[in-house]
Structure 1
């Protein structure tokens, strides 16, 4: 006869264990306590402030029912209560925190026992559980950074005994090895905003899990960490005729690496260095090139990336100013509607200047062309060389259509040596200087002061003096005026002029006669200006003092 004290519990079967054998006896029974014992877990589900707590019925066994229930120490969360005859904890908590209390259960014979409990009251969840991984792509570069947000015990780790978690990355498949982060500790009801970084081995990771002490949740976030990956996501734009250099970069792999273009073509003029991954050269065509690059390491690990390079001309949509090119700045005032290449070439020879103008020294013609589509007008500004012209104030910008020169000048800045003009088309441009001679004139030769009676009906003689550099006899007398008064005409319609050596220097001078009554002078004027031109259209100007009398 063998006697044994047993703890209160269910016993489903009995076994006879011998030295080398055993037999099971189908004899299940329950041992109950003579006093009531509370068998509800001490850690009660976490509640949420200002939200109804789900009714929780405390359980007891042993003794003689019915039972009565009493909080004998500590306090339930404010707003919650314990049913004295039901053992139900219910209500709406109104305070945050962790609440510790002891509950006593008493049976009909007044036998009793006590148990300690804890309830955490959490703030209301704003966003629920939020899982954010960086990088976000399906194929990523290690390390991976994960942000976990939510209320601990409400949004995740909902077992009341949970007080920590870690992020688990499952490799290969559901039965594969795992890689996990360090443990993060939190209390029930705590608002969590954790950022956790983890270096991961190259492998596919089909899913991620949050492992808590007594609970877990699976996140459907599969990704791959490759052995080698191309990290370059885009390449810079190139420009026609300009040096280009960009390095395609990678992470991982075992050197040496071999780079190649596996599909598509690089822009014309560019080459790909198979050992360094550098794309370089001088683009020769405006285009957008799409291609795929590959890198392979010594272990035959391979990564590919689709890339593109856009090659622009120097004339872009939305960027209307081009240059300076050979001293020329071009502004597409009306806008560029399709990009292209604008070029400027210079030459010392070209179409002869218009009448009365001359080239500078050295002579420069500017040939401008563009493949861009634009809306007129276009402003062309040319920067000339200091000392290139004799009289910078007499400069004009001219545009040729191949046959006729047109003066397109809009502005002249002699301080900066820049002249600008507006045009609707391109071809040849040039800066021409108006040919001009400042001549010595003598009003009423042989007299001083040069008194002029505006009331006279006669003429005023004016001598235009020749020099070793200027032949006054080449002046067209019909082109001459003094103070806006023209040369007097004879009865036969010819101008009144003659040639004479007025200063005995052996050179013939020209004497013209202007109509006195046509002079635009007043008594306040002390100077009269003459203007005319020679037979080759060189402008002739001069001035002399006058004394105007009524």
Structure 2
């Protein structure tokens, strides 16, 4: 009988072809997952198994460093930021023997910033408004600082398309860039210093005519004194000009002062003696809502065709004890008149109303301001 000699059979190491990292591209708000290829092989038929290591490239030492305690096939996003290079090392292991490592690397991409919207103010906007765009809902997964790229456009009815307004690259747009009924668009693109996100837009129509230069509070006075203790009325003239016909104003829409007082009386007269008919309105002082701190007052309204307009004039608040001496010339149109009284007194715009619509240094007779 022959001699039997025991022979040791060595366990064959397992192998795997490759490993991949997902998602790709990867961002700072998503964990990484490593997946070995589907070609595991073990000659002994041992069950599939792996040993995992994650590393991050250190620019300080120009080499890879292990990420401590990360020994499975996932890596949480708290371990990296945008721009980091991440490596996974996958070692096939059958419980006894380790095979040859396979590796994969990925660079963490910059997350694009997002916003939820943008608004334009004021709304409604007038021909004298400075438009201001305000973005809303900034979000950047990387925590990058908020930033924006701005474009303003105006709709060109000639070509039926939007055109950029040249050199307007911040979040404001002054009134020199538009006229009544223009359509204005702002395009706001979130920018984190590296990449731009998806732009959002807002559109506004310039729907209000600013008519401040041709609305005159207390005609006949340069300072436009207002006595808050007066129980009388305040006269306001809307002048007719080449671009605006005061006779087309829908008086029922006119409001005056912070409390939006309605007129208690109105009349049509050529106040500035230019051959055009102007509109004279009277508002009760106590209904206007003017305060002791106000230095201007605003009138709003619409024309018969629905065009909205607004106008502001300066005022000077005077003590009630000076009512009779500073409220204005009693001969000026409508000064301290009650509803039902003639608005003319000594006729509006006539030479019998000395100083009517005059600028300092002008003669008290002849044609006055707006001439």
- Using the size of structure 2 for normalisation, the TM-score is 0.41
Taking CA–CA contacts closer than 8 Å with sequence separation of 6 or more, which of the two structures ends up with the larger relative contact order?
2
Larger radius of gyration: 1
- Using the size of structure 1 for normalisation, the TM-score is 0.30
